[in-house]
Protein backbone atom coordinates (compact mmCIF):
# COMPACT_ATOMS: atom_id res chain seq x y z
CA UNK A 1 0.00 0.00 0.00
CA UNK A 2 1.35 3.36 -0.99
CA UNK A 3 1.78 5.58 2.05
CA UNK A 4 2.51 9.20 2.72
CA UNK A 5 3.56 10.01 6.27
CA UNK A 6 3.47 13.34 8.05
CA UNK A 7 3.90 14.33 11.67
CA UNK A 8 0.46 15.46 12.82
CA UNK A 9 1.86 18.20 15.05
CA UNK A 10 0.94 20.74 16.14
CA UNK A 11 4.14 22.42 15.08
CA UNK A 12 4.42 25.74 16.88
CA UNK A 13 6.76 28.46 15.62
CA UNK A 14 7.07 32.13 16.61
CA UNK A 15 6.08 34.80 14.14
CA UNK A 16 8.92 35.58 11.76
CA UNK A 17 10.62 32.20 12.17
CA UNK A 18 11.09 29.47 9.58
CA UNK A 19 8.57 26.64 9.71
CA UNK A 20 9.80 23.28 8.40
CA UNK A 21 7.25 20.65 7.43
CA UNK A 22 8.30 17.17 6.41
CA UNK A 23 6.76 14.30 4.50
CA UNK A 24 7.99 10.82 3.60
CA UNK A 25 6.54 8.48 1.01
CA UNK A 26 6.83 4.77 0.40
CA UNK A 27 6.47 4.41 -3.39
CA UNK A 28 9.85 4.82 -5.07
CA UNK A 29 8.08 5.28 -8.38
CA UNK A 30 6.48 8.54 -7.25
CA UNK A 31 6.99 11.35 -9.70
CA UNK A 32 4.97 14.37 -8.58
CA UNK A 33 4.75 15.98 -5.15
CA UNK A 34 2.36 18.58 -3.87
CA UNK A 35 1.80 20.72 -0.81
CA UNK A 36 -1.71 21.92 0.02
CA UNK A 37 -2.78 24.26 2.80
CA UNK A 38 -6.09 23.67 4.54
CA UNK A 39 -7.59 26.17 6.92
CA UNK A 40 -9.99 24.81 9.51
CA UNK A 41 -13.35 24.10 7.91
CA UNK A 42 -12.14 24.93 4.41
CA UNK A 43 -11.03 22.91 1.41
CA UNK A 44 -7.36 22.32 0.55
CA UNK A 45 -5.65 24.90 -1.64
CA UNK A 46 -2.52 24.23 -3.63
CA UNK A 47 0.64 25.94 -2.41
CA UNK A 48 3.36 24.30 -4.46
CA UNK A 49 4.28 21.34 -6.57
CA UNK A 50 7.71 19.89 -7.26
CA UNK A 51 8.83 17.23 -9.70
CA UNK A 52 12.64 17.29 -9.64
CA UNK A 53 15.20 16.75 -6.91
CA UNK A 54 16.35 19.91 -5.22
CA UNK A 55 14.69 23.11 -4.13
CA UNK A 56 11.88 25.11 -5.65
CA UNK A 57 11.11 28.55 -4.31
CA UNK A 58 7.93 30.58 -4.57
CA UNK A 59 7.83 33.68 -2.44
CA UNK A 60 8.14 32.71 1.22
CA UNK A 61 7.69 29.03 0.39
CA UNK A 62 10.40 26.56 -0.58
CA UNK A 63 9.71 22.94 -1.46
CA UNK A 64 12.57 20.48 -1.21
CA UNK A 65 12.61 17.04 -2.79
CA UNK A 66 15.00 14.16 -2.19
CA UNK A 67 13.90 11.11 -4.16
CA UNK A 68 16.78 8.95 -2.96
CA UNK A 69 15.67 9.43 0.64
CA UNK A 70 11.99 9.54 -0.31
CA UNK A 71 11.13 12.74 1.45
CA UNK A 72 9.73 16.09 0.53
CA UNK A 73 9.64 19.15 2.75
CA UNK A 74 8.11 22.59 2.81
CA UNK A 75 9.86 25.57 4.35
CA UNK A 76 7.90 28.71 5.19
CA UNK A 77 10.10 31.73 5.79
CA UNK A 78 9.01 34.72 7.87
CA UNK A 79 6.04 32.76 9.23
CA UNK A 80 2.89 34.78 9.79
CA UNK A 81 -0.16 34.04 11.97
CA UNK A 82 -2.11 33.68 8.71
CA UNK A 83 0.08 30.65 7.89
CA UNK A 84 -1.55 28.77 10.79
CA UNK A 85 -3.28 25.87 9.07
CA UNK A 86 -2.92 22.17 8.32
CA UNK A 87 -0.47 21.38 5.54
CA UNK A 88 -1.15 18.30 3.43
CA UNK A 89 1.51 16.48 1.46
CA UNK A 90 0.33 14.60 -1.64
CA UNK A 91 2.16 12.24 -3.97
CA UNK A 92 1.40 10.94 -7.46
CA UNK A 93 3.13 7.82 -8.73
CA UNK A 94 3.16 9.19 -12.25
CA UNK A 95 1.46 6.23 -13.86
CA UNK A 96 -0.50 7.53 -16.81
CA UNK A 97 -4.09 6.46 -16.99
CA UNK A 98 -5.87 5.14 -13.94
CA UNK A 99 -6.98 8.64 -13.07
CA UNK A 100 -3.56 9.92 -11.95
CA UNK A 101 -4.54 9.55 -8.35
CA UNK A 102 -2.92 11.42 -5.50
CA UNK A 103 -2.14 9.85 -2.15
CA UNK A 104 -2.43 12.31 0.72
CA UNK A 105 -0.79 12.40 4.09
CA UNK A 106 -2.92 13.16 7.12
CA UNK A 107 -1.40 16.62 7.41
CA UNK A 108 0.70 18.64 9.83
CA UNK A 109 -0.98 21.34 11.87
CA UNK A 110 1.10 24.52 11.98
CA UNK A 111 0.56 27.21 14.60
CA UNK A 112 2.36 30.52 14.23
CA UNK A 113 2.40 32.33 17.53
CA UNK A 114 2.65 36.07 18.11
CA UNK B 1 -10.11 30.67 -15.68
CA UNK B 2 -11.46 27.51 -14.12
CA UNK B 3 -13.98 27.37 -11.31
CA UNK B 4 -15.35 24.42 -9.37
CA UNK B 5 -18.64 24.52 -7.52
CA UNK B 6 -20.15 22.20 -4.96
CA UNK B 7 -23.56 22.20 -3.35
CA UNK B 8 -24.99 22.17 -0.93
CA UNK B 9 -22.36 23.69 1.37
CA UNK B 10 -23.78 21.99 4.45
CA UNK B 11 -26.27 19.21 4.92
CA UNK B 12 -27.83 17.47 7.92
CA UNK B 13 -29.56 14.22 7.11
CA UNK B 14 -31.13 11.41 9.17
CA UNK B 15 -29.76 7.89 9.05
CA UNK B 16 -31.35 5.93 6.23
CA UNK B 17 -32.16 8.94 4.08
CA UNK B 18 -30.87 9.37 0.51
CA UNK B 19 -28.05 11.68 -0.53
CA UNK B 20 -27.15 13.64 -3.63
CA UNK B 21 -24.15 15.96 -3.77
CA UNK B 22 -23.29 17.82 -6.93
CA UNK B 23 -20.04 19.17 -8.32
CA UNK B 24 -19.62 21.22 -11.49
CA UNK B 25 -16.53 22.62 -13.16
CA UNK B 26 -16.38 25.65 -15.44
CA UNK B 27 -13.70 26.76 -17.86
CA UNK B 28 -12.30 23.40 -18.92
CA UNK B 29 -13.28 20.43 -21.05
CA UNK B 30 -13.04 16.73 -20.29
CA UNK B 31 -11.49 17.16 -16.85
CA UNK B 32 -10.65 14.26 -14.58
CA UNK B 33 -12.96 14.50 -11.59
CA UNK B 34 -12.59 13.14 -8.07
CA UNK B 35 -14.69 12.68 -4.94
CA UNK B 36 -12.89 12.62 -1.57
CA UNK B 37 -14.16 12.32 1.98
CA UNK B 38 -12.39 13.80 4.96
CA UNK B 39 -13.65 12.51 8.30
CA UNK B 40 -13.05 14.61 11.40
CA UNK B 41 -9.33 14.66 12.19
CA UNK B 42 -8.57 12.26 9.36
CA UNK B 43 -6.85 12.42 6.00
CA UNK B 44 -8.39 12.65 2.56
CA UNK B 45 -9.90 9.39 1.37
CA UNK B 46 -10.44 9.03 -2.38
CA UNK B 47 -13.91 7.65 -3.03
CA UNK B 48 -14.40 7.82 -6.80
CA UNK B 49 -12.76 9.25 -9.87
CA UNK B 50 -13.86 9.75 -13.44
CA UNK B 51 -11.90 10.29 -16.63
CA UNK B 52 -14.94 10.90 -18.82
CA UNK B 53 -18.72 10.91 -19.14
CA UNK B 54 -20.19 7.73 -17.71
CA UNK B 55 -16.76 6.44 -16.63
CA UNK B 56 -16.58 5.91 -12.88
CA UNK B 57 -13.93 4.11 -10.87
CA UNK B 58 -14.59 3.21 -7.25
CA UNK B 59 -11.79 3.21 -4.75
CA UNK B 60 -13.58 2.14 -1.60
CA UNK B 61 -16.55 -0.26 -1.59
CA UNK B 62 -19.35 1.24 0.47
CA UNK B 63 -22.92 2.43 0.22
CA UNK B 64 -22.01 5.44 -1.92
CA UNK B 65 -22.11 5.72 -5.69
CA UNK B 66 -21.05 8.32 -8.23
CA UNK B 67 -22.20 9.35 -11.65
CA UNK B 68 -21.01 11.69 -14.37
CA UNK B 69 -23.97 12.52 -16.58
CA UNK B 70 -22.26 15.47 -18.29
CA UNK B 71 -18.66 16.36 -19.06
CA UNK B 72 -18.29 18.82 -16.21
CA UNK B 73 -20.78 17.42 -13.72
CA UNK B 74 -20.02 14.86 -11.04
CA UNK B 75 -22.61 13.56 -8.60
CA UNK B 76 -22.18 11.58 -5.38
CA UNK B 77 -25.18 9.61 -4.19
CA UNK B 78 -26.40 7.22 -1.57
CA UNK B 79 -29.68 5.38 -1.20
CA UNK B 80 -29.43 5.06 2.58
CA UNK B 81 -27.03 7.08 4.69
CA UNK B 82 -25.13 5.63 7.62
CA UNK B 83 -23.77 7.48 10.64
CA UNK B 84 -20.28 6.73 9.34
CA UNK B 85 -20.99 8.71 6.16
CA UNK B 86 -20.63 11.96 8.07
CA UNK B 87 -17.71 14.05 6.92
CA UNK B 88 -16.43 16.74 4.64
CA UNK B 89 -16.95 15.79 0.99
CA UNK B 90 -14.60 17.35 -1.50
CA UNK B 91 -14.74 17.35 -5.26
CA UNK B 92 -11.56 17.98 -7.22
CA UNK B 93 -10.61 18.32 -10.88
CA UNK B 94 -7.46 18.15 -12.96
CA UNK B 95 -6.62 18.66 -16.60
CA UNK B 96 -7.17 15.57 -18.72
CA UNK B 97 -3.56 15.64 -19.88
CA UNK B 98 -0.36 17.26 -18.77
CA UNK B 99 0.40 18.06 -15.17
CA UNK B 100 -1.46 16.16 -12.49
CA UNK B 101 -2.27 18.96 -10.05
CA UNK B 102 -5.72 18.60 -8.52
CA UNK B 103 -7.83 21.60 -7.58
CA UNK B 104 -10.49 21.33 -4.92
CA UNK B 105 -13.98 22.70 -4.66
CA UNK B 106 -15.28 24.39 -1.50
CA UNK B 107 -16.67 21.12 -0.10
CA UNK B 108 -19.91 19.89 1.44
CA UNK B 109 -20.07 19.24 5.16
CA UNK B 110 -22.44 16.33 5.77
CA UNK B 111 -23.74 15.39 9.20
CA UNK B 112 -25.76 12.21 9.51
CA UNK B 113 -27.83 12.00 12.69
Identify the residue among A99, A101, A108 best suited for mutation to test binding to B, counting B beta carbons within 10 A and taking the highest.
Answer: A99
Question: Is the model's pLDDT at A101 over the cut of 90?
Answer: no
| CA gap A92, B32 in Å, rounded | 14
Q: How far is CA A102 from CA A20, A23, B47, B76, in A?
A: 22, 14, 12, 19
For residue A84, the model assigns a pLDDT of 98
Spell A8-31 as b/e; 16+ CB within 10 A means b: eeebebeeeeebebbbbbebeebe
Confidence of residue B62 (pLDDT cuts 50, 70, 90): confident
Interface membership of B94 toward A (CB under 8 Å): yes
Query: Which residues have CB under 8 Å from B25's CB, separation 6+?
Result: B2, B3, B4, B5, B31, B33, B72, B93
Contact between B101 and A49 using a beta-carbon 8 Å cutoff = yes
For residue A72, the model assigns a pLDDT of 97
Identify the residue among A8, A32, A44, A50 best suited for mutation to test binding to B, counting B beta carbons within 10 A and taking the highest.
Answer: A44
The percent of residues in chain B predicted with pLDDT above 90, rounded, is 83
The secondary structure of A31-72 as a DSSP string is: -EEEEEEE-TTS--EEEEEE-SSEEEEETTEEEEEETTTTEE
Question: Is the model's pLDDT at B77 over the cut of 80?
Answer: yes
Closest CA to B84 of B13, B2, B6, B31: B13
Closest CA to B81 of B61, B64, B58, B67: B64
For residue B98, the model assigns a pLDDT of 74
3-state SS track over chain B: CCEEEEECCEEEECCCCCEEEEEEEECCCCCEEEEEEECCCCCEEEEEEEEECCEEEECCCCCEEEEEEECCEEEEEECCCCHHHCEEEEEEEECCCCCCCCEECCCEEEEEC
Per the prediction, chain B carries an average pLDDT of 93
Contact between A99 and B57 using a beta-carbon 8 Å cutoff = yes
Question: Is the model's pLDDT at B39 over the cut of 60?
Answer: yes
For residue B96, the model assigns a pLDDT of 82
Interface membership of A99 toward B (CB under 8 Å): yes
Considering only CB atoms, which chain B residues are within 8 Å of A42?
A: 106-107
Contact between A101 and B51 using a beta-carbon 8 Å cutoff = no
Q: A32-56: per-residue pLDDT in tens?
A: 999 999 999 999 999 999 999 999 9
Interface membership of A46 toward B (CB under 8 Å): yes
The percent of residues in chain B predicted with pLDDT above 70, rounded, is 99
The percent of residues in chain A predicted with pLDDT above 70, rounded, is 92
The percent of residues in chain A predicted with pLDDT above 90, rounded, is 81
Interface membership of B57 toward A (CB under 8 Å): yes
Amino acid sequence: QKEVEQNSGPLSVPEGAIASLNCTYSDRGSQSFFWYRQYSGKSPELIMFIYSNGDKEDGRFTAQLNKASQYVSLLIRDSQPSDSATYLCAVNNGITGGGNKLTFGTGTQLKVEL
Amino acid sequence: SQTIHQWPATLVQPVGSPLSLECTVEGTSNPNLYWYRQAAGRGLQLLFYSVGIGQISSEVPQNLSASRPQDRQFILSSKKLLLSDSGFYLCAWRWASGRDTQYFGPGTRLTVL
